[in-house]
Every structure is written in structure tokens, then in C-alpha cells.
Amino acid sequence: MTTNAESQKQLGAILSSVSENLRVAVQKIENYREHQCLIEERLESFTQENREITDRLQKAEQCKERYRDERNKLMKEKFAKEIKERSDIQTEQKLRQDYNDLKMLYDAKEKEWEQNIKDSERSFHEFKRNQKQKLNEYVEKLKKQDGQTIQLQKTIEQNNCDIRKLRKQLEESKRQPSTTSDDTEPRVIGHKLTDNNPNIADLSDRDRPTKLAEKFAELYDNQWHDAFEELQKSFSSDEQIIEILLEILMDIYDFCKRRAREQLDDLQRVLLCSKSVERTQTSCPENVIKQLKDCRKTTSSMSFRSVYEVISSCYN
């Protein structure tokens, strides 16, 4: 009965871990939605500013044309009236001189106004280009966040399904009497749930997915850059260097993957006292295979040197 209670406690702990992961995922979705609303508001604001600037430029162009027509009309009327009223040649020359001065002043102002219009148009086009670039960036962010939201929703649905299965199995284990098979069943369920499931983290595992991601980041920051600089002495193309390093990395990955599969087959063959272990034949139970994998993880620090020497010999 005590063993059954411990198994139920273990399942309860796994349920708590899954529920916490669900809560974090839901919080992320809420944050993405708030960010999406903020981006949409900014897009609407940018669109309104574009419309206002366009209206101002149109009004400025209309004012320019109206000002030019009125000024020409007034100047013509003024000088025509003065020339008609004054017959004196000197006065006429003076008027003509004043007209030319005013015309020069008007032409200068007109050039200045045209330059201001061009500067405004150039600034507007620059602003419009920047806003379009920002708009594209926001659209890309929205697409990316939509993809992340869909992925999170799928993860939540999968976790909800796992929780329902666990609760059902937990209720069944509570209703069943305490026997050896009842003690084994929850453990098998726990192994099935945690084995190769990145959504449920085993905090005692030093090689869980998050830790492996950190190690790959350190590999890129240190050994990858050192090897890249060393290869630059022999190769001039960065793409060629990256292809070489990537090929080495993938070769090591394929070797380790193949060796791990062979090692697991060897362990099952020894346990079953069999000459071979095929998928179509009887193999070890899943809880035993999970224990073999855990044992392999525990001894990885001791077998690392041998694997390193085998791989190094391939490149020497």
C-alpha cells in the first residue's frame, strides 16, 4: 500500500510539473496577444500620420499656385495703373526698375519655396520608406508570433491530453488493490510520460534539452569560433569554412546516434541472453529501456574519453 501511495505521489508531482508548464505557456500566449494589439495600434497610427502628411503637401501645393496667380495679377494691375497715370519717363523707368526688383525677389522666393517643397517631399518619401520598413518588420513579427502561438496551443492540447490520461490512470490505480503489478504500472506510465518528452523537464537530468541547448551555445561561442579562425588560414571563403565545420558536426552527431542505438541493442541482448535484438522480436519492457537510458546518461562522463578518442582518430 505504501508503494502504491509513493507511485501516486510521483504521478501527482508529474501532474504539478505539467500544470506549471501549461500556466507558463498560457501566460506567453497572453503576452503575445497584448504585443499584437500594440503593434496593430502603432500600424493604425502610422497610417493616420501618412494620410495627414499627404493632405498637408496637397494643401501646400494648392496654396503655392493660388499665391502665384494672385501675386502676378496684383503686380500686373499695379504697374499697369501706375504706368497709365504717370507719363513721366523717369517715373516709368523707376517703376520698371521696381518691377524688376520685385520680380527678382519673387523669383528668389519662388525658388526657395520650390526647394522647401522638394525637401518636404524628400523627407516625406524617406519617412514613408521607413514606415513601410517598420510595417514589414511588424508584419514579420506578427507572423512569427502567430506561429509561436499555434505551437503553444498544440503543446497545451497535448499536455491537456497527457493530464487527462494521467488523471484517469491515477483514479484507476486508487481503485485497484495494492499488488506488485499495480506498483509496476504507475512506474511504467511515468517512464512513458517522461521518456523523450521535451515538454516535461527532469530537473535531475544534467543533459535535459535546456542544458544541451546551453552546451551547444557554448560550443558555438568557443570551439566553433576557434576552429573558424584556424580554417581561415587555409580557406578564403566563409561559406566553405562553415560547410566544413557543419559536415564535421553532423558526422559526429551521426556517429554518436548510431553508437547509442548499437549500445542500447547490446544492453538488451545481454539482459535477454539473446544473440540479437530485432524490432519484430521480444525486447525489454519500456520501463527497463528507460532505466538503461538513465544508466547510460549517468556513465556518459566516464565513456566520453573513449568516444572522443574514436572520433579523433577519424580526423587524424
pLDDT in tens, 221-266: 888 889 899 998 888 888 999 999 989 889 988 998 998 888 888 8
Task: Over range 27-43, report the average pLDDT.
Answer: 80
Where exactly are the structural domains of the chain? 1-201, 209-316
Task: Over range 167-190, report the average pLDDT.
Answer: 59
- CATH number listed for the domain at residues 1-201: 1.10.287
Cβ 155 vs Cβ 18: under 8 Å: no
* Gap between the Cα atoms of 234 and 247, Å rounded: 17
Backbone angles phi, psi at 138, to 5 degrees: -65, -40
Q: Is the pTM of this model over 0.85?
A: no
Nearest to 199 by CA among 159, 245, 163: 159
Cβ 257 vs Cβ 229: under 8 Å: no
Q: What is the percent of the chain where pLDDT is above 70?
A: 82
Top mean pLDDT of 39-53, 196-210, 220-234 is at 220-234
In tens, the pLDDT along 191-201 reads 555 555 555 55
In tens, the pLDDT along 161-177 reads 877 777 777 777 767 65
